[in-house]
Amino acid sequence: MAGTLTSEQIEKLSVEERLKLLQLICESLAEQSDELPAPEWHRAIIEQRLNRMEEDPHPGIPADEALASLGKRKA
């Protein structure tokens, strides 16, 4: 490990430096995404959405229709 940052050291970093640190951490986690456990609330949301889809399997509307509808609302 290259070194350990304390919370005090992190607080002294500029916003740009903290964002870069956050980006590095996220990238390092993405490389190991298979090892990251999914939180239980993620599983609960997926289960709810699957249940809703099974109850009403209507596929919705095509994306171009949805975007056109949104465009009409803005005007």
In this structure, the chain runs to a length of: 75
Sorted by where each begins, the domain ranges of the chain are: 8-56
3-class secondary structure, 45: helix
Eight-class DSSP state of 4: -
Question: How many CB atoms are located within 10 Å of the residue 10 CB?
Answer: 11
Both tokens of residue 19?
Answer: 């964002």
As to burial, measured by CB atoms within 10 angstroms (0-12 exposed, 13-18 middle, 19+ buried), residue 52 is exposed
Both tokens of residue 24?
Answer: 């590095």
Predicted model pTM: 0.46
pLDDT at 1 (0 to 100): 47
pLDDT per residue, tens digit, the chain (75 aa), is 467 899 999 999 999 999 999 999 989 888 887 888 889 999 999 999 999 889 987 878 899 999 998 887 765
